[in-house]
Amino acid sequence: MLNEFKKFALKGNVVDMAVGIIIGGAFSTIVKSFVADILMPPIGLLLGGVDFNNMFWVLKTGVETPGPYVALADAQAAGAVTMNYGLFITNTISFIIVAFALFLVVKGMNNLKAKEQPAAVNTKSCGYCFSTIPLKATRCPSCTSELNAAENG
């Protein structure tokens, strides 16, 4: 059983998938940081200083400290139940960036793949019996007819 697991785990597809998942996780972290730290602050500034991370609705105030809450962290610390639509907006933008980046990667990989060349023609048909014969043949092996350029089909 250990040998079977070893064969399974060391197959190329499993190792490739594991590497892809690890790289995907690291890429996701980079994209989240890009969205939260680089992209969203200027967008918030353009919208009048809005901080998307602190956009939330209080569904139920906290027991320890009733609202209003200035920041999401304050509401969560007070035990309030919140709907965090600002984080949803940030995560949606993150998803769109990741999806677009993956689209570009897949498109690039597809462009790098060698275009399949049509197979070279190396056979012809006998003009008499219509059997397939090698292109350089001068006599049909099936019907023994002599072939020339005019008789080839």
Q: What is the mean pLDDT of the chain?
A: 82
Supply the pTM of this predicted model.
0.55
Encode pLDDT of 103-112 as tens digits. 888 888 788 7
Long-range CB contacts (< 8 A, 24+ apart) of 6-9? Answer: none
Residue that wins the pLDDT comparison between 113 and 75 = 75
Q: Considering the domain boundaries, does residue 123 fall inside one?
A: yes
Using CA atoms, how far residue 135 sits from 68, 150, 151, in Å, is 87, 14, 13
Same domain, 18 and 45: yes
Q: Considering the domain boundaries, does residue 74 fall inside one?
A: no
Partnered with residue 67 across adjacent β-strands are none
The mean per-residue pLDDT over the stretch 71-88 comes to 90
pLDDT band at residue 97 using 50, 70 and 90 as cut-offs? confident
**Number of H helices and number of E strands within the chain?**
5, 4
Same domain, 103 and 139: no
Q: Considering the domain boundaries, does residue 65 fall inside one?
A: no
Same domain, 34 and 19: yes
Cβ–Cβ < 8 Å for 72, 53: yes
6: tokens are 């070893």
Q: How many domains, the chain? A: 2
Encode pLDDT of 12-59 as tens digits. 677 778 888 888 888 888 888 888 888 888 888 887 877 788 889 999
Domain housing 37? 2-50+84-112
